[in-house]
A and B are shown apart, each in its own frame.
Chain A
């Protein structure tokens, strides 16, 4: 079955420290990959996406993610976290080609807390 796993439910980092949020997926083929962020009481904002090409993708707010086919992973990173990055982060996958209905399958989310 198709699934997305974010192993870390809750992460706390100090402001200025580096961050890595993990995402693993189970899919029949390489899917489209996304990271979304949800600030408290807000909607979902797209951080970045991977469709093809360079496996290291850059996103907004200084985030990047690396697609590793061999590990079925798409981990999100940021070199220096800001207090405003405290939010819920969701990894999601979507099908390619003729299977593509636009449906996204989401992970359960990782809550990021930033210490001053």
Chain B
């Protein structure tokens, strides 16, 4: 069983569309994250949630909205997609803040 799973793995969409990426972890962790990897492979945190509560929002445009229906799920919704949103988005989780973070396989988003 995959510990942190995200869907879809690949997504190609047009500018202006709205899309969602779903993430689920079956590790029983309290904290979940979204990281973005840009075209230069630089990784940066976007959001983190602890027990469904937002604890980090790294000055991400408000077109990006995370939603955590329960502590095992953290979805990422993106409105009005722009070319610059093309990236790999990684979901991750950890037992709590300050512990080892485990990453999903990534979702490759291409905006055309």
Contact = CB atoms under 8 A, between A and B. Distances in A.
Tell me whether A and B are bound partners.
yes
Interface of A: 32, 34, 36, 38, 42-46, 49, 88, 90, 92, 94-97, 100-104, 106, 108-109
Given A43-B106, A96-B98, A102-B99, A108 B41 contact: yes
Nearest to B91: A43
A13 B60 CA distance: 39
A102 B45 CA distance: 10
* Top-3 shortest CB links A-B: A100-B98, A102-B97, A44-B103
B100 A106 contact: no
B102 to A, nearest CB: 7
Interface of B: 31, 33, 35, 40-45, 48, 50, 55-56, 58, 90, 92, 94, 96-106
A43 B48 CA distance: 18
Nearest to B44: A106
Given A97-B98, A104-B35, 6 more contacts: A43-B90, A43-B105, A45-B103, A102-B31, A102-B96, A108-B40
A102 B50 CA distance: 10
